[in-house]
């Protein structure tokens, strides 16, 4: 059958040529190779290694019987809980009516682009799904340059340059920090400067703060403090509560953008209807917080910080150029210093680099071309998550409760990550 010329398979042109999500693809490839008996270290998919807090799991058990359709915008009690969470953490004054619940922040981002007709501004490098979503919908994407010397952070000057030639053009700026893929974040001064430019051009600013709670020092601040009237905060349970598979995300809107929230609710009513009822009820416990949740976050941050520092040092010792992460669980090393040696092996792109690394060492990472760079940029993203998070939390809060975590902890709690660095170091050294 000639599918390409069969009218039954007239695929939307916006979808043709788009590959499945890079992070999900590498996870499936890694799992397939493991099923074949190969020893694969999974540093591709950015899934939290930590378990969902036990009290939140217990809440899900309690509410597992809930089967009714919930309101499109979300359970009122959960929206109240999220408003309280934002007000406590960001010193804001949002209300439950400002909150929209969805089956993951990824779905909410897609709906935002459906509801708002504007160009998408994305700092490079960026998470793998921002640009493909825009392409599927048919929106224009403008990549904003960033530089390694500035920790891959967008500057207010670069934002102003892209906006000044057509100042009234509708635009959505996505700001993600701590960053996927770099682990870096913004200072207060940087956020204020970007906020001033966003206000100057009346931008819609989507602040993707899904990793905010895993800022290593617990000092994340939302740019909504500086540009409240135009900022939508995006967060959820997937990264800080270890509940990626639960699929619960939320947008918090300012009152000035209520028409946009209303439009997204209409789209939701005609697509996913409502987010899973048991998940919403259980999520109240997570967003309400408590001493146990605080302790969980404290130990999670301690573990991620020391692991990030260890991985950063190992990669630097190998000869990669890499910024020290300040949050999340990612590193974005550049292997350009190996270009000539790699070329002798006919490895000239980041994709070829990652393919060869996987085939020859069993270490799975993602190429920088998946994050907005040209193919021959020899960078990659590592998600340092292949370890037993429950055991690491227990160890950090037990034997190491009163000690500064260091390499000894990483070697004990995260042997797979140590092995990954050993394999990468041997491979690069053999080129």
Q: Which CATH architecture has domain 19-48+292-429?
A: Alpha-Beta Complex (3.90)
Q: For the chain, how far is it from start to end, CA to CA, in angstroms?
A: 45
pLDDT score, position 237: 96
Q: Name the helix (H) or strand (E) containing 196.
A: helix 188-200
Indicate whether 130 pLDDT > 90: no
Phi, psi of 182 (to 5 degrees): -100, -25
Indicate whether 409 pLDDT > 50: yes
Pairing of strands 249-252, 204-208: unpaired
pLDDT digits (tens, 9 = 90+) for 304-331: 999 999 999 999 999 999 999 999 999 9
Structure tokens given for 132:
């493909």
The side-by-side arrangement of strands in the sheet containing 366-367 is 330-331, 380-383, 366-367
CB of 234 closer than 8 Å to CB of 211: no
CA–CA separation, 367 and 365 (whole Å): 7
CA–CA separation, 98 and 110 (whole Å): 19
Q: Residue 278's closest CA among 247, 251, 252, 250?
A: 247
CB of 329 closer than 8 Å to CB of 380: no
Which band of pLDDT confidence, cut at 50, 70 and 90, is reported for residue 400? Answer: very high
User: Model pTM greater than 0.85?
Assistant: yes
Instruction: Tell me the Ramachandran region of residue 138: left when phi exceeds 0, alpha when psi lies from -120 to 50, beta otherwise.
Output: left
pLDDT digits (tens, 9 = 90+) for 275-302: 999 999 999 999 999 999 999 999 999 9
CA angle 378-385-364, nearest 5°? Answer: 40
What does the mean pLDDT of the chain come to? Answer: 92
Q: Give the dihedral of Cα atoms 291, 292, 295, 297; nearest 10 deg.
A: -110
Structure tokens given for 123:
């700092």
CA–CA separation, 78 and 66 (whole Å): 14
Phi, psi of 169 (to 5 degrees): -65, 135
pLDDT score, position 1: 47
**Mean predicted confidence (pLDDT) in 195-224:** 97
Which band of pLDDT confidence, cut at 50, 70 and 90, is reported for residue 36? Answer: confident
Tell me which of 3.40.980.10, 3.40.640.10, 3.40.190.10, 2.30.30.100 is the CATH number of domain 65-289.
Answer: 3.40.640.10
Q: Name the helix (H) or strand (E) containing 132.
A: helix 130-137
pLDDT score, position 32: 82
pLDDT score, position 241: 95
pLDDT digits (tens, 9 = 90+) for 56-108: 999 999 999 999 999 999 999 999 999 999 999 998 899 999 999 999 999 99
For residue 120, how far is the Cα from the chain centroid? 17
> How many Cα atoms sit within 13 Å of 84 on the Cβ side?
13
CA–CA separation, 148 and 182 (whole Å): 10
CA–CA separation, 307 and 317 (whole Å): 15
Domain extent listing, the chain: 19-48+292-429, 65-289
pLDDT score, position 265: 97
pLDDT digits (tens, 9 = 90+) for 384-395: 999 999 999 999
pLDDT above 70 as % of the chain: 94
CA angle 303-306-312, nearest 5°? Answer: 135
Which of 97-111, 127-141, 216-230 has the least mean pLDDT?
Answer: 127-141
Which band of pLDDT confidence, cut at 50, 70 and 90, is reported for residue 23? Answer: low
pLDDT score, position 134: 87
Phi, psi of 162 (to 5 degrees): -70, -25
């Amino acid at each position: 059958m000639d599918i390409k010329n069969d009218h039954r398979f007239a695929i939307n042109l916006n979808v043709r040529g788009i590959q499945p999500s890079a992070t999900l693809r590498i996870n499936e490839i890694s799992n397939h190779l493991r099923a074949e008996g190969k020893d694969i270290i999974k540093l591709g998919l950015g899934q939290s290694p930590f378990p969902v807090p036990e009290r939140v799991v217990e809440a899900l058990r309690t509410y597992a019987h809930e089967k009714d359709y919930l309101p499109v915008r979300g359970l009122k009690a959960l929206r109240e809980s999220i408003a309280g969470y934002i007000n406590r953490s960001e010193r804001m004054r949002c209300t439950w009516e400002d909150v929209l619940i969805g089956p993951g922040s990824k779905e909410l981002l897609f709906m935002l682009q459906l509801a708002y007709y504007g160009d998408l501004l994305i700092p490079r490098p960026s998470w793998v799904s921002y640009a493909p979503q825009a392409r599927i919908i048919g929106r224009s994407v403008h990549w904003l340059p960033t530089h390694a010397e500035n920790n891959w952070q967008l500057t207010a000057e670069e934002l102003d340059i892209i906006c000044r030639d057509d100042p009234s053009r509708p635009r959505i700026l996505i700001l993600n920090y701590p960053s996927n893929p770099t682990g870096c974040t913004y200072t207060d001064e940087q956020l204020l400067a970007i906020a001033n430019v966003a206000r100057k051009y009346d931008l819609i600013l989507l602040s993707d703060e899904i990793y905010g709670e895993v800022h290593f020092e617990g000092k994340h601040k939302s740019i909504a403090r500086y540009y409240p009237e135009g900022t939508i905060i995006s967060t959820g349970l997937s990264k800080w509560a270890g509940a990626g598979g639960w699929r619960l995300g939320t947008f918090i809107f300012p009152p000035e953008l209520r028409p946009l929230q209303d439009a997204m609710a209409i789209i939701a009513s005609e697509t996913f209807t409502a987010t899973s009822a048991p998940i919403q009820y259980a999520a109240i416990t997570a967003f309400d917080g408590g001493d146990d949740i605080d302790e969980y976050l404290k130990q999670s941050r301690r573990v991620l910080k020391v692991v990030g520092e260890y991985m950063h040092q190992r990669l630097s010792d190998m000869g990669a150029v890499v910024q020290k992460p300040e949050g999340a669980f990612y590193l974005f090393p550049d292997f350009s210093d190996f270009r000539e040696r790699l070329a002798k092996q006919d490895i000239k792109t980041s994709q070829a680099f990652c393919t060869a690394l996987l085939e020859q060492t069993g270490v799975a990472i993602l190429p920088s071309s998946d994050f907005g760079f040209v193919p021959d940029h020899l960078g990659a993203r590592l998600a340092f998550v292949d370890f037993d998070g429950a055991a690491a939390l227990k160890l950090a809060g037990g034997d190491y409760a009163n000690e500064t975590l260091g390499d000894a902890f990483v070697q004990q709690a995260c042997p797979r990550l140590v092995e990954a660095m050993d394999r990468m170091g041997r491979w690069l050294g053999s080129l």
